[in-house]
Amino acid sequence: MRSLLANAYVVTMDDEGTELPAGWILLEDEEIAALGEGAPPKADAVSDLRGSVVLPGLVNVHHHLYQTLTRARAQQADLFTWLRELYPVWARLDAEAEYAAARTGLAELALSGCTTVFDHHYVFPRGQEGLVEAEIQAARELGVRLVASRGSMDLGESEGGLPPDELVEELDAVLADTEGLAALHERGHGARVQIAVAPCSPFSASRRLMAASAELARRLDLRLHTHLAETAGEEDYCRELFGCTPVEYLSELGWLEGDVWCAHCVHLEEAAIERFARAGVGVAHCPSSNLRLGAGVAPVRQLLDAGVAVGLGVDGSASNERGDLFLEIKQAMLLARGRGGPDAMTARQALWLATRGGAAVLGRQDVGVLAPGTCADLAVWRSDGLELGGADDPVAALVFSGPHRVDRLFVGGREVVREGHLVTADETEIARDHRRIARRFADVV
């Protein structure tokens, strides 16, 4: 089956920054067969996308889907206070709730143009099973790509950690479960489900677990992820407990290698940025979440100038209630400008973070770019509505006036969103089911 998308403003995000103002894209099965301008090739089906901009599907590199169940809590709290308030609420999580949460979070992301999602799941209440499997099921049903993680916490309050003792696990159990889930990891071009190893943070995972996780990830050839340098409080914690900065701590644990990416990295000194660049460690920048928790502003311009791969994350919906990756593109641009002036980041550089940057952070070459042979993951945006009127650069205007609901979304050539609505699921039903489950979490705070 060859289908043609014609008459669109195509933004390829290739190395040369090629844009095709009167472009066409030929899809064949799950891939892009060809793209160009001028007379299009013959196809079995043709869609006229006049008045639209086509971007690669967006890539979200940090999220906690379960948090859609607990929005708008601890509204004025900093990270540690927020976590302490929410841990006991999250202890109610089970597979049914995780499924409902993932469907909601993944649907929100799809409607914001996102085709590949990384989820950092680290809450495993005792006796609960099938949590990661539940979110994988939700992603398969919706038709989006998921990099799920077997996260973990083993450092409870009684041992100097932040989470309550009843929410932490035994190290051996964590490693065994991670190894079991690794069987679900797909390799190579077009992978739809992948698994990463992701102990939660230096203040909730022990030194032993951090080191053993890195060892396991390398033995199983999986990528490795954690939260790092999110707040000044975390830096104080590391200095007090380990006598060094969070990045020095990671270095001691053998983490600083090219298979690692870290979320936030708000508080990085110049030397740490250089270390990340030399080692090939990537960063998940989460602008709205960092602002919501008053964590600070990540040095994204400096990271990019040093050659660090930076992607964007919405982060969990308890610290960024709007799970819209297009909003994060705009936020990243505005935040970079707030820190470094109006030329600190262009609209196209911000789009790069959410496409090529995200793909690089996840170690993928088959998504985040429109080129022959890459996955047919495309986001189609209307550029003829009210909010883009008068704009002579539809690409920059899209970013400046964002966020927007995506008009059409394709993942591996399959249509997931059409005319701004999910094709593969019923949005109203997802919301209704989610509201029913979320009540279980509402009476605790």
Residues in contact with Zn ion by CB under 5 A are: 315
Please identify the residue of the shown chain whose CB is closest to the bound Zn ion.
315
We find the least distance from the C-beta atom of residue 405 to Zn ion, in angstroms, to be 25
Cβ nearer to Zn ion, comparing 230 with 259: 230
Cβ nearer to Zn ion, comparing 169 with 315: 315
Cβ nearer to Zn ion, comparing 315 with 377: 315
We find the least distance from the C-beta atom of residue 123 to Zn ion, in angstroms, to be 12
Cβ nearer to Zn ion, comparing 25 with 284: 284
Cβ nearer to Zn ion, comparing 56 with 316: 316
We find the least distance from the C-beta atom of residue 33 to Zn ion, in angstroms, to be 38
Cβ nearer to Zn ion, comparing 191 with 266: 266
We find the least distance from the C-beta atom of residue 14 to Zn ion, in angstroms, to be 30
We find the least distance from the C-beta atom of residue 5 to Zn ion, in angstroms, to be 35
Cβ nearer to Zn ion, comparing 61 with 388: 61
We find the least distance from the C-beta atom of residue 43 to Zn ion, in angstroms, to be 42
Q: Residues 357, 310: contact at Cβ < 8 Å?
A: yes
We find the least distance from the C-beta atom of residue 64 to Zn ion, in angstroms, to be 6
